[in-house]
Structure 1
Amino acid sequence: MTEERTRTPPKAAGRGPEPLGPDSLTWRIFGDWRGLLIALWAGSMQNMHPELGAGVEEHSRFFDERWERLFRSLYPIGGVIYDGPRAHATAREVRGYHDTIHGTDRFGRRYHALNPDTFYWAHATFFVSTLIIAENFMGGLTEAQRRQLFDEHKRWYRMYGMSMRPVPDTWEDFQEYWDRMCRDVLEDNKATRDVLDLSRIGRPPLLRWLPGPLWTPVRPLVHRSFVWLTVGMYDAAVRERLGYSWSPRDERLHRLVGTAIRFAFRLVPWQRRYHPRARAGWRRALGMDPAATPTVETPPRNLPPESERSLPIHYVPAEHRPTG
Structure 2
Amino acid sequence: MTQPPSRVAGRDPEPLGPDSLTWHIFGDWRGLLIALWAGSMQNMHPELGAGVEQHSRFFDERWQRLFRSLYPIGGVIYDGPRAHATAREVRGYHDTIKGTDRFGRRYHALNPGTFYWAHATFFVSTLIIAENFMGGLTESQRRQLFDEHKRWYRMYGMSMRPVPDTWEEFQEYWDHMCREVLEDNRATRDVLDLSRIGRPPLLARLPSPLWTLVRPVVHRSFVWLTVGMYDPPVRERLGYTWTPRDERLHRLVGTAIGFAFRFVPWQRRYHPRARAGWRRALGKEPATAPTVETPPRNLPPVAERSRPTHYVPAEHRPTG
Q: Which residue of 2 aligns with 1:241?
A: 237
CA deviation vs aligned residue, 1:80-124 (integer Å, no higher than 9, x gap): 000000000000000000000000000000000000000000000
Q: Which residue of 2 aligns with 1:266?
A: 262
Amino acid across the alignment from 2:40: S
For the pair 1:130 / 2:111, whether they are aligned, the reply is no
CA distance in 2, matches of 1:213, 1:150: 46
Q: Which residue of 2 aligns with 1:171?
A: 167
Secondary structure at the aligned position of 1:188 is classed as coil
CA deviation vs aligned residue, 1:176-204 (integer Å, no higher than 9, x gap): 00000000000000000000000000000
Q: Which residue of 1 aligns with 2:145?
A: 149
Secondary structure at the aligned position of 1:90 is classed as helix
1:184-263 to 2 correspondences below 5 Å: 184-263=180-259
CA distance in 2, matches of 1:260, 1:168: 35
CA distance in 1, matches of 2:60, 2:310: 14
Amino acid across the alignment from 2:77: I
1:5-16 to 2 correspondences below 5 Å: 15-16=11-12
Amino acid across the alignment from 1:101: I
1:267-286 to 2 correspondences below 5 Å: 267-286=263-282
Secondary structure at the aligned position of 1:224 is classed as helix
Residue 217 of structure 1 and its aligned partner are, at CA, apart by 0.5
Secondary structure at the aligned position of 2:107 is classed as strand
CA deviation vs aligned residue, 1:248-270 (integer Å, no higher than 9, x gap): 00000000000000000000000
Gaps of at least 5 residues in structure 1 are 1-14
CA distance in 2, matches of 1:292, 1:88: 15
TM-score of the superposition, structure 2-length normalised?
0.97
Q: Which residue of 1 aligns with 2:94?
A: 98
Residue 16 of structure 1 and its aligned partner are, at CA, apart by 1.6
Give the fraction of aligned pairs with identical amino acids, expressed as a percent.
90
**Displaced runs of 4+ in structure 1, greater than 3 A?**
none
- The correspondence for 1:111, drawn from 107, 110, 115, is 107
- The correspondence for 1:37, drawn from 27, 33, 37, is 33
Aligned length: 311
Q: Which residue of 2 aligns with 1:63?
A: 59
CA distance in 1, matches of 2:177, 2:197: 29
CA deviation vs aligned residue, 1:251-296 (integer Å, no higher than 9, x gap): 0000000000000000000000000000000000000101010000
Gaps of at least 5 residues in structure 2 are 1-10
Amino acid across the alignment from 2:69: S
CA deviation vs aligned residue, 1:205-247 (integer Å, no higher than 9, x gap): 0000100011001000000000000000000000000000000
Secondary structure at the aligned position of 2:99 is classed as strand
CA distance in 1, matches of 2:173, 2:217: 35
CA distance in 1, matches of 2:309, 2:29: 25
CA distance in 1, matches of 2:102, 2:138: 43
1:305-320 to 2 correspondences below 5 Å: 305-320=301-316
CA distance in 1, matches of 2:256, 2:60: 33
Secondary structure at the aligned position of 1:103 is classed as strand
CA distance in 2, matches of 1:63, 1:309: 16
Amino acid across the alignment from 1:293: A
Q: Which residue of 1 aligns with 2:7?
A: none
Q: Which residue of 1 aligns with 2:3?
A: none
For the pair 1:81 / 2:77, whether they are aligned, the reply is yes
CA distance in 1, matches of 2:46, 2:148: 27
For the pair 1:294 / 2:293, whether they are aligned, the reply is no
Q: Which residue of 1 aligns with 2:5?
A: none
